[in-house]
Amino acid sequence: MFSFISALQLSILMNT
């Protein structure tokens, strides 16, 4: 589950 959240956070960070 952590992997999913980590990937989501990374996606948002890169999107910014």
The pLDDT, as a whole number, for residue 16 is 80
12 DSSP 8-state letter: H
Cα separation of the two ends of the chain: 23
pTM above 0.85, yes or no: no
The pLDDT, as a whole number, for residue 2 is 86
The pLDDT, as a whole number, for residue 3 is 92
**CA atoms lying within 13 Å on the CB side of residue 7:** 4
Q: What is the pLDDT of residues 1-16, one digit of tens each?
A: 789 999 999 999 999 8
Q: How far is CA 2 from CA 6, 11, 16, in A?
A: 6, 14, 21
